Homo-oligomer: A and B are copies of this chain.
Amino acid sequence: MLKAVSLGPGDLSLLTPAARWAVEEAEVVAGYKGYIELIPDEVLEGKIVVSTGMMGEVDRARQAVEHARAGRKTVMVCSGDAGIYAMAGLLMEVLESEGLLKTVPFEVVPGVAAFNAAAALLGAPLMHDFASISLSDLLTPWERIEQRLQAAASADFVIALYNPRSRKRSDHLREALGIIGRYRRPSTPVGMVRKAYRAGQFVEAVPLKAVDVDKVDMQTVLIVGNSATRLVEGRMLTPRGYHRKYAL
């Protein structure tokens, strides 16, 4: 049995019972070491822990699949939602390549993703259609990312930006906001959230023209409002519709 388990933003108050039970009943807990640290020590006691650094994803997935194949109850933990830009897919890829999809029961336990958490802290930015775009060009050509930014901006989606900076390139975010700025007013609210619901939490919403890209690190999630989003008392509010069916 292999489960991709969502830990949520990190605070235990946002860990679902399903995720907690899955980790508790596991014999093997695999995960990026930063995520393993989110789990209370007493829960990990007596379990095999497979913990690797940030670049060890494939290795981690292979080891988890090996344990599951050997009949051990195995979980791969991910921060946020294991099904969003996370390990659920890589586990399925490894299972598939080893011909184990039919024999090893595989399940994803959904959770509170990074952008669900960011949105909550920012107010109500995701009341209307939205697009989520990762600015990491490690696995995706930058041209494709630009094309997506343009499509999302031109069709007035609220836009969530993941991985806004990389070690190698610091200008992705500036370029991305430049593309979005061709279609949105300079006053469009942009929310930035880092370490949501964890120590060191940072939450800020400012107009597009005032975004300081140097304040943004790799772990920040940004949410750019659509044409109707307003800044109200420092928070973001995207009204639900373009028609006004109700009068307030």
Contacts A110-B112, A138-B241, A233-B101 given; does A246 touch B83 at CB 8 Å: no
Known: A237-B92, A239-B89. A120 touches B130 (CB 8 A): no
* Band of interface residues on A: 35 or more
**A8 to B16 Cα, complex, angstroms:** 10
Residues of A contacting B: mostly: mixed
The complex places the Cα of A133 from the Cα of B151 at a distance, in Å, of: 14
A100-131 to B contact mask, C-beta < 8 Å, 1/0: 01100001111111001101110111111111
Q: Within 8 Å CB of A167, what residues of B?
A: none
Pick from A18, A83, A126, A235 the residue with the most CB of B within 10 Å: A83
Q: How many copies does the complex hold?
A: 2
Asked whether, in the complex, the Cβ of B18 is within 8 Å of the Cβ of A124, the reply is no
What 0/1 readout, one digit per residue, does chain A (61-90) give for beta carbons within 8 Å of chain B?
000000000000000000001111110111
A121 to B83 alpha-carbon distance, docked (Å): 10
Check B13–A16 contact: CB distance below 8 A. yes
- Could you list some 24 contacts between A and B, CB below 8 A? A13-B21, A14-B110, A15-B17, A16-B112, A81-B120, A83-B116, A83-B120, A83-B126, A88-B127, A92-B124, A94-B248, A108-B121, A108-B124, A110-B112, A111-B116, A131-B132, A138-B243, A139-B242, A139-B243, A139-B245, A140-B241, A140-B243, A151-B151, A152-B155
Besides the known contacts A17-B17, A110-B120, A129-B134, 20 further A-B residue pairs in the complex with CB atoms under 8 A apart: A4-B124, A12-B17, A84-B126, A85-B126, A85-B127, A88-B120, A88-B123, A92-B232, A93-B237, A110-B119, A111-B112, A112-B112, A129-B133, A129-B148, A130-B132, A139-B241, A140-B242, A147-B156, A148-B157, A151-B152
